């Protein structure tokens, strides 16, 4: 009881997440006969996980590629492909986010890379600023669903499931969600008359843009093709991504200097330094969850509501969506995985499928205030109030919820490629 009380108080008063995880467990440790040395062992065990090495490398690769102008190549190809459609440039934004997601593994990072270029471009083409920001922030959510995904790596470590299988499981749901967002963008643009400056399809221009951006566009195929082809592991793929990004930046683009690389390293270390501290305290926190039988107590409470797997996933999704409004994605995954995973396993739900559901509900958290990280990034680029962007993003949130319901009712969508691999 004291453990839970201290944890809730820490969250309510805004204690940093690593301390909110560590303080309740430390209080419990001090009141038990367990030696304090176990704290040091837990902190070390939390970061002594080889798969976690993939996160800083993927973040670094995305930072290098954003500075090397990879996004320009992606946008040029997508615009030549669909520029004539209703909402053409808005659809280009979603497609570019999908493509860049296969490089960065980060939602806010995808919004920053694509939105910086395309939000001003949409404004120049006559799209309302709030709509442009809403499209970019919504497309950026695909950064954590399409592989490689940083939240999937963290979940894979905590749930002891194959990160490669999680990446594979995210492909079809990611494409489905991207298609739904494109459909919503087209519908809203057609209804409101958003067409901007339509560019007629020119086969020669399309092929020319493909050729000019061939090295940039090859990045996801090099990284993901190597993983799924069994050439290298996800961790090795992250290193390959960094090396390939550096080669494209220095040899092909020739537009990055030492200062740019130093800034990219600073961005990656800032993101991942905090993650290391959180992961260490998360293991310590998980041990005391188990000691207090919190997962069993939560499971018994939820099982009194229903023991149907689909209804349980619906209930859990509602809880996750509400928490996502106030908690950062990685924090939510780190805290709730050890609590909810035993329950879903007990109901026969595949842990990989549950991981996809966890990530999709986190996508919604990127778009819902007061946290809404993607909204903050997009609104700062568009130079407008977050409240205005939040209103325009509502149709896209409903679209993601529809996609979530489809994934819950049809788990085969998440598992089809994994089962084929097996």
pLDDT in tens, 280-319: 777 777 767 767 777 677 777 888 888 899 999 999 999 8
What's the mean pLDDT in 10-18? 73
What's the mean pLDDT in 186-214? 81
User: 16 versus 131: which is more confidently predicted?
Assistant: 131
**pLDDT of 50:** 67
pLDDT band at 327 (very low <50, low <70, confident <90, very high): confident
pTM of the model: 0.83
**pLDDT of 407:** 96
Other Cβ atoms less than 10 A from the Cβ of 420: the count is 8
**pLDDT of 186:** 93
Q: Are 157 and 49 in contact (CB under 8 A)?
A: yes
pLDDT band at 113 (very low <50, low <70, confident <90, very high): confident
**Which of 51-65, 273-287, 361-375 ranks highest by mean pLDDT?**
361-375
**Quick check: 184 pLDDT over 90?**
yes
From 199-208, 332-341, 345-354, the region with the lowest mean pLDDT: 199-208
Q: Are 68 and 256 in contact (CB under 8 A)?
A: yes
DSSP readout, 335-397? HHHHHHHHHHHHTT--HHHHHHHHHHHHHHHTTSTTT-HHHHHHHHHHTS-HHHHHHHTHHHH
**pLDDT of 193:** 84
pLDDT band at 176 (very low <50, low <70, confident <90, very high): very high
Integer Cα distance of 42 and 44 in angstroms: 5
| Residue 12 burial (C-beta neighbours within 10 Å; 0-12, 13-18, 19+) | exposed
Alpha helices in 13-142 (DSSP H): 17-30, 37-47, 54-67, 70-82, 88-104, 107-124, 129-140
**pLDDT of 31:** 78
**pLDDT of 401:** 96
Integer Cα distance of 7 and 289 in angstroms: 11
Q: Are 89 and 196 in contact (CB under 8 A)?
A: yes
Q: Are 106 and 144 in contact (CB under 8 A)?
A: yes
| Helix, strand, or coil (residue 170) | helix
Radius of gyration, CA atoms only, the chain: 22
Output the CA–CA distances (angstroms, integers) from residue 328 to 310, 320, 352, in the order listed: 25, 11, 21
Percentage of the chain surpassing pLDDT 70?
A: 90
**Quick check: 255 pLDDT over 90?**
no
User: 240 versus 405: which is more confidently predicted?
Assistant: 405
Integer Cα distance of 418 and 422 in angstroms: 6
Integer Cα distance of 86 and 302 in angstroms: 46
Give the domain ranges of the chain.
49-421
Integer Cα distance of 141 and 133 in angstroms: 13
**pLDDT of 402:** 96
Planar angle of CA 50, 52, 58, nearest 5 degrees: 120
């Amino acid at each position: 009881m004291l453990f839970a009380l201290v944890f809730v108080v820490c969250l309510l008063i805004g204690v940093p997440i690593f301390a909110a995880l560590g303080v309740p467990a430390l209080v419990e440790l001090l009141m038990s006969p367990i030696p304090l040395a176990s704290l040091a062992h837990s902190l070390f065990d939390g970061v002594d996980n080889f798969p976690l090495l993939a996160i800083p490398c993927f973040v670094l690769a995305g930072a290098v590629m954003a500075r090397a102008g990879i996004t320009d190549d992606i946008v040029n190809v997508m615009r030549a492909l669909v520029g004539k459609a209703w909402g053409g440039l808005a659809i280009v934004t979603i497609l570019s986010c999908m493509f860049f997601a296969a490089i960065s593994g980060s939602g806010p990072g995808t919004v920053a890379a694509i939105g910086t270029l395309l939000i001003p471009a949409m404004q120049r083409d006559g799209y309302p600023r709030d709509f442009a920001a809403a499209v970019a922030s919504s497309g950026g959510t695909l950064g954590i669903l399409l592989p490689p995904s940083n939240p999937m790596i963290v979940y894979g470590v905590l749930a002891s499931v194959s990160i490669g299988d999680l990446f594979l499981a995210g492909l079809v749901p990611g494409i489905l969600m991207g298609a739904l967002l494109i459909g919503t963008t087209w519908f809203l643009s057609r209804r409101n008359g958003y067409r901007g400056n339509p560019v007629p399809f020119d086969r020669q221009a399309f092929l020319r843009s493909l050729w000019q951006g061939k090295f940039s566009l090859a990045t996801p195929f090099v990284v993901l093709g190597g993983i799924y082809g069994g050439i290298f592991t996800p961790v090795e793929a992250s290193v390959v991504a960094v090396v390939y990004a550096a080669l494209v930046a220095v040899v092909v683009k020739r537009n990055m200097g030492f200062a740019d690389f130093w800034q990219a390293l600073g961005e990656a270390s800032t993101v991942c330094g905090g993650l290391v501290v959180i992961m260490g305290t998360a293991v310590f926190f998980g041990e005391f969850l188990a000691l207090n039988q919190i997962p069993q107590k939560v499971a018994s409470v939820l099982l009194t509501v229903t023991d149907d797997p689909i209804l349980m996933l619906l209930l859990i999704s509602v809880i996750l969506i509400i928490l996502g409004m106030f908690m950062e994605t990685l924090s939510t995954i780190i805290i709730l995985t050890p609590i909810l995973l035993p329950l879903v396993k007990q109901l026969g739900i595949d842990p990989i499928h549950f991981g996809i559901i966890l990530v999709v509900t986190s996508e919604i958290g990127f778009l819902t205030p007061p946290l809404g990280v993607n909204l903050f990034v997009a609104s700062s680029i568009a130079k407008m109030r977050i409240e205005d962007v939040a209103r325009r993003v509502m149709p896209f949130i409903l679209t993601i919820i529809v996609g979530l319901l489809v994934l819950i009712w049809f788990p085969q969508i998440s598992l089809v490629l994994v089962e084929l691999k097996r």
